[in-house]
Amino acid sequence: MRKLRNITYIFFLCFFAVALSVTALGTDAQVIRSLIENETGRVVAVSRRGDTSLYPANSLEAIISAREKGADAVSVAVSRTEDEYVLCESGSLVNVCDTDFASTEEAFYSELKECRLYDSAGILTDCRVISLRDALDELDGSVYLILDIDWESRDDVYEIVKNADALSYISLRADVTAEKAAQWSAGRIDVISVYKGNIIWNSAGHISKATEAGMTMAEYRTKNYFNVCYGTLVGDSFSADGNARALAACYNSDLCGKRADSPDGWDQLIDDGFTVIETNNIEGLVSYVERTQKARKALEKALEKAEKADFSSFSAASIDNIGNATENARAVISGRASSLDKTEKAYSDLLFSMSDKRMADGKAEAKGELNVTAGKIIAVVFVGTAILTAQIFIEKKRKNKEG
């Protein structure tokens, strides 16, 4: 009897643990949704097609690995077969998996799901093509997904996502304007619209229209390094309170103004107002975000110290420097997101301004500061006059001697 009770007890413990894990998976993507929608002070890291450094693109394994490495969201391609929607690039299946089908459109999922996928190095793996329905069931809300779709398939994909009860942690993305996306969506599901122009008012208006429609993100694509979307006016519209986030596709330099998929490129884009970065380098981007968050916390502590300190004994120049550094620190912290470079610079500038202990009223001054007073001016004039008088006296005496 005691043995039976122990078995029953163990069973309930296991059941409770499983229930907790399911709950955690079910709410994880909800946390990411909140991160995307709200003012969080940090960049959102999107893994392009999952962790392709270890697994084939769009595979279930790649999605899970990217999430485990810290990705906030994963973008995957959705295409249609003869009978199902699958996670796979549309078109040719050559070098995608070991199948006799020429393209996804000609294949049947019942056969395609038995095929093995090639990884980025062209090596055949044990990973398989998976349908959108099965992927949503397997992931169970543990990952926020961006589904890249053909706009014509939007109604079918919407029904699949709706039936999977996954509307709250899915965004559809298509090559469509914000107006068309908003008109079709009508608040039912999040849609990421894509803008590829170079007109300043349209660039700023694109994200405004996405915001008005309640969308979380809007994407900008361009080959032009000097495209207006990297300008101050458009960047300000990205950063305004309540606006949808601006997404930059760093995985392809032709889509983000030739910016690199590295810290240098991310710094530039974030300083231009982009707060969602889609990357092929998810480990690097996650590390970058973590370092930025640490720098941000250090800046917050330094700012708190500066606001409480008494600098009344400092010189006017020093107080001005502290004021400027403090104002800049507040701006960095209050922004939707800031680059690592800007955050670290704000931190170092604030610390330097507070450590530059130059004091007024004739007290000790730091080396290098010139504190000009009336007494110092008189002294300089007196010394200069004395030197000039001495030179005249010596020159006159020399001439008299020669005569």
Averaged over 157-181, what is the pLDDT?
95
Q: At 275, which amino acid appears? A: T
Residues 163 and 282 in one domain: yes
Within-domain flag for 319: yes
Within-domain flag for 364: no
Query: Above 60 in pLDDT, residue 6?
Result: no
Residues 190 and 248 in one domain: yes
Whether the CB-CB separation of 110 and 82 falls below 8 Å is answered with no
The secondary element (H helix, E strand) that includes residue 94 is none
pLDDT of residue 368: 46
pLDDT of residue 227: 95
The band of 7, judged by pLDDT with boundaries at 50, 70 and 90, is very low
Averaged over 338-343, what is the pLDDT?
95
Residues 271 and 298 in one domain: no
Residues 195 and 79 in one domain: yes
The secondary element (H helix, E strand) that includes residue 194 is strand 190-195
- How many distinct structural domains can be found in the chain? 3
Please state which of the ranges 31-35, 186-190, 278-282 shows the lowest mean pLDDT: 31-35
Residues 241 and 96 in one domain: yes
Query: Above 90 in pLDDT, residue 312?
Result: no
Residues 196 and 184 in one domain: yes
Query: Above 90 in pLDDT, residue 329?
Result: yes
Within-domain flag for 362: no
Task: List 191's β-bridge partners, or say none.
Answer: 172
Residues 217 and 306 in one domain: no
Query: Above 80 in pLDDT, residue 25?
Result: no
Nearest to 236 by CA among 327, 330, 335, 333: 335
The band of 185, judged by pLDDT with boundaries at 50, 70 and 90, is very high
pLDDT of residue 367: 45
Q: Where are the alpha helices (DSSP H) in 91-223?
A: 109-112, 132-139, 154-163, 178-185, 200-212
Within-domain flag for 366: no
Residues 384 and 347 in one domain: no
Structural domain ending residue among the three candidates 269, 291, 313 = 291
Whether the CB-CB separation of 316 and 360 falls below 8 Å is answered with yes
Whether the CB-CB separation of 229 and 239 falls below 8 Å is answered with no
For residues 103 and 129, give the distance between their C-alpha atoms in angstroms, rounded to a whole number. Answer: 13
Distances (CA, A) of 40 to 37, 43, 66, 230: 9, 8, 21, 22
Highest mean pLDDT among 51-55, 363-367, 370-374: 51-55
Structural domain ending residue among the three candidates 237, 272, 291 = 291
User: Which position has the higher pLDDT, 29 or 304?
Assistant: 304
Query: Above 50 in pLDDT, residue 129?
Result: yes
The band of 382, judged by pLDDT with boundaries at 50, 70 and 90, is low
Give 20-28 contacts, CB < 8 A, sequence gap 24+: 22/140, 25/139, 25/140, 25/141, 25/142, 26/140, 26/141, 26/142, 27/141, 28/141, 28/142, 28/143
Give the structural domain span for 400: 372-403
The secondary element (H helix, E strand) that includes residue 95 is none
pLDDT of residue 237: 84
Residues 83-106 have pLDDT tens digits of 999 999 998 888 899 988 888 888
Residues 174 and 222 in one domain: yes
Structural domain ending residue among the three candidates 291, 318, 344 = 291
The band of 311, judged by pLDDT with boundaries at 50, 70 and 90, is confident
pLDDT of residue 23: 36
Residues 284 and 340 in one domain: no
pLDDT of residue 336: 81
What is the rounded average pLDDT for all residues in the chain? 85
Query: Above 60 in pLDDT, residue 257?
Result: yes
Residues 306 and 287 in one domain: no
Averaged over 176-202, what is the pLDDT?
93
pLDDT of residue 68: 96
Averaged over 308-337, what is the pLDDT?
90
Whether the CB-CB separation of 121 and 145 falls below 8 Å is answered with no
Within-domain flag for 361: no
CATH of residue 276's domain is 3.20.20.190
Within-domain flag for 363: no
Task: List 80's β-bridge partners, or say none.
Answer: 85
Residues 221 and 302 in one domain: no
Averaged over 67-74, what is the pLDDT?
96
Q: At 23, which amino acid appears? A: T
